[in-house]
Amino acid sequence: MTATLKVALAQANFLVGDVGGNADRVIELASRAARAGADVVAFPELALAGYPPEDLLFHRGFRRQIDAALERVRAASGTTAILVGHPEYTASGIFNSATWYAGGEEQVRHRKSCLPNYRVFDEKRYFLAGAQATVIEHRGFRIGVLVCEDIWEPGPAQLAKAQGAELLLVLNASPFELHKQAQRERVVRERIADVRLPVAYVNLVGGQDELVFDGQSFAMNAAGEIVLRASAYDEAVSLIEFVRDAAGGVALRAVSAPALAPELSDEASIYSALVLGVRDYVVKHGFPGVVLGLSGGIDSALTLAIAVDALGADKVQAVMMPSRYTADMSREDAAEQARAQGVRYSVIPIEGMFAATLGALEAEFAGRPVDATEENIQSRCRMQILMGISNKTGKMLLTTGNKSEMAVGYATLYGDMAGGFAPIKDCSKLIVYRLAAYRNSLGAVIPQRVIDRPPSAELRPDQKDSDSLPPYEILDPILESFIEDDLAVDEIVARGFDRATVGRVLDLVKRTEYKRRQAPPGVRISRRAFGRDWRYPITNGYRR
């Protein structure tokens, strides 16, 4: 008789800190996998804690909840084995572990050996490194167990093979960034080329503060051919089957259908990440909805579309707050988008607040020319309105600024930067345009005039962004070269940019770090976002 092993990859959305709820979810999905005929169900890295649990790991009460949850999972295990990720507390420290339960008993425990400590990861702050590989025999198959970073280094897979592993199960909490799925699959192919073993890779899905986990769990055979790829940004329990062939090797086939979820375009992938990030941030916090300022510009137009797609029109309120400088087309386009999206729409002029503030400051400003101060006052008047609505209704305020603006400080502290979450915070202006066109390709919700018109803050007569900044076609590549590629001035200039422009842009980045430190969190979509993986000193004497 041919030996087979059916493995369910439980790509699930867990809530950081909700240990009891996460355990309920593990037990529920394990039961579903058992009904589907699975011999083992594998869950993502640190599933019981949620990822990343950060300093929650240090709370004694958290430890007690983890221990209790593990007991519940152990008791729930039966003929279908459960492989679940969790923090493991010992006298010597904490490990990032994965435990295999079957028949109500703990069978084996693997401790993650390769601890990432770069970009958004700081696992060495919390965890001790464990043994490099763990192999368990189940239903006649020898299975190597790895956790996330273990598969990115050659040692653990090689050691598992040396210990007799015939296949590898990898538990992951790998966050999204552009082109990350292609990178994951490439790394796993490299490991397979080395050890010639099939690999099943289960990944977390869901939003957690600035991080979005995109799922896309997958399995590859020993030739490095992809056999299964789960959907992106959705929960899924995917079934695969390992089969021992006549020569004693282990083949792999997909049981779930469809076996291969489509690879998404850059725009589709980013947009879906933004939608999931907003949805989970709002829902997991229990907000009844969101409110945002709708200016008639492209940033707020895109943010509104994301919010509606994430939450539904009934949970979104848009507010137009015209000033003496607001163009008629801005009023018209904002109203048209609100109508097209079906959201609650309010128009609250700021002229009275603006005039009153200028009157109160008249003596202080006497003899001084009009400058950016008056522009910032308008932005802060709008903040008062939006935060007032937020406080009164409980709706969370979404900010609408993009990465290009955040990088150079083209935003008002305690004004348009104020809010609870910033969906497009990590999207450059050029990406904003691409996403707007993509969203309209699914159904026109952003007026074309909003996309075509020159961007403007509309805080003074005939204002355009280009009055203060280089064109975005120049600004964005310079910013990417510095922020994401860590290039020096000479290296950026070598890419074809004017030295004076490069110097001016980098000086703006340096001078406005204090603003970014006070900005709300937002979805990370790039190799380096302002937030978890950008640590630039506010006070520093570095000279370019």
Q: Tokens 């409980």 — which residue? A: 394
Q: What is the pLDDT of residue 544?
A: 64
- Strands 105-111 and 127-128 turn out to be unpaired
Q: What is the pLDDT of residue 253?
A: 85
Q: What is the pLDDT of residue 538?
A: 87
Q: What is the pLDDT of residue 541?
A: 81
Catalytically active residues, by annotation: 45, 112, 148
Q: What is the pLDDT of residue 272?
A: 97
Where the chain has pLDDT below 70, the residues are 1, 457-460, 463, 544
Q: What is the pLDDT of residue 531?
A: 86
- Dihedral of CA atoms 469, 473, 478, 480 in degrees, nearest 10, equals 120
Our CA angle for 183, 184, 187, nearest 5°, is 85
Q: What is the pLDDT of residue 119?
A: 83
Q: Which domains does the chain have, with CATH numbers?
A: 4-259 (3.60.110.10), 267-465 (3.40.50.620)
**CA–CA gap between residue 225 and residue 210 (Å, rounded):** 33
The residue among 375, 376, 544, 402 whose CA lies nearest residue 472 is 402
Q: What is the pLDDT of residue 246?
A: 72
Question: Can you list the alpha helix ranges (DSSP code H) found in 369-518?
Answer: 372-393, 403-408, 429-442, 448-452, 472-483, 489-493, 499-511, 513-516
273 CB-contact burial (10 Å; exposed 0-12 / middle 13-18 / buried 19+): buried
Q: What is the pLDDT of residue 338?
A: 95
**CA–CA gap between residue 450 and residue 507 (Å, rounded):** 30
**CA–CA gap between residue 231 and residue 367 (Å, rounded):** 63
Q: What is the pLDDT of residue 388?
A: 96
The residue among 317, 322, 214 whose CA lies nearest residue 273 is 214
Q: What is the pLDDT of residue 361?
A: 95
